[in-house]
A and B are shown apart, each in its own frame.
Chain A
């Protein structure tokens, strides 16, 4: 899992602002995922992508957008439509055909 990086480690968002969280992997994994983690809750899936230029909504996609222009990169944008964005965001990746997911170090998003 050391081949997955996320930046920044902390991110502050002002009201009405869109912010983008970066996720990069050099593991040659086909699939990439974004999860949101809130205190006392499990990880919830926001978006996932199994192949370049294709992605699917997860359980809580509203207020978020993603792109997958390169195999190595899967950025997540938290839009102003997401009214409660404060959370710990985790990116993960996996090899096609396997379920094992490896996580990045996470980005903590805070609202000013």
Chain B
């Protein structure tokens, strides 16, 4: 089965700096890679996703890059703000019923 590894587990950045979270996956058949943001005690919310036919996708301050050859994808948050503080999860999927999640990164943005 698929194995998704996510690094780092915790990340602290100064407000205004950039944050980068990386995930690797093992199954070359995986073709959909979403990122979720989860605030304390709340539901995960989809913030951006990318499919295997695209190398990069951007939405305002958030971007995701995918390297299919190396089997890794990354979340980039620029100009971080305190409200970006949360746990971020990556996932890899090759079928709607087969989602494999990373272990999460706790991001703290220091004002």
Contacts and interface: CB of A to CB of B under 8 A. Distances in A.
Interface of A: 1, 31, 33, 40-45, 48, 50, 56, 90, 94, 96-106, 108
Contacts of B32: 99
A31 B98 CA distance: 12
A90 B44 contact: yes
Contact of B4 (A1, A42, A100): A42
A101 B99 contact: yes
- Report which residue of A43, A56, A105 has the largest number of chain B beta carbons within 10 angstroms of its beta carbon: A43
Looking at chain B's contact residues, is the secondary structure mostly helix, strand, loop, or mixed? strand
Contacts of A104: 43
Interface stretch (B12-20, B54-62, B77-85, B100-108): B100-108
Given A48-B97, A56-B97, A42 B102 contact: yes
Contact of B101 (A40, A43, A99): A43
Contacts of B46: 1, 100-102
A103 B9 CA distance: 22
B96 interface: yes
Interface of B: 4, 6, 9, 32, 34, 36, 41-46, 49, 89, 91, 93, 95-97, 99-104
Given A99-B32, A99-B93, A104-B43, A40 B103 contact: yes
Given A42-B103, A42-B104, A99 B43 contact: no
A29 B20 CA distance: 33
A43 B89 CA distance: 9
B76 to A, nearest CB: 20
24 contacts: A1-B43, A1-B46, A33-B99, A42-B91, A42-B100, A42-B101, A42-B102, A43-B89, A43-B99, A44-B101, A48-B97, A50-B96, A90-B44, A99-B34, A99-B93, A99-B95, A99-B96, A101-B46, A102-B46, A103-B36, A103-B45, A105-B42, A105-B43, A108-B41
Given A1-B45, A48-B97, 8 more contacts: A33-B99, A40-B9, A41-B103, A44-B101, A94-B96, A99-B32, A101-B99, A103-B44
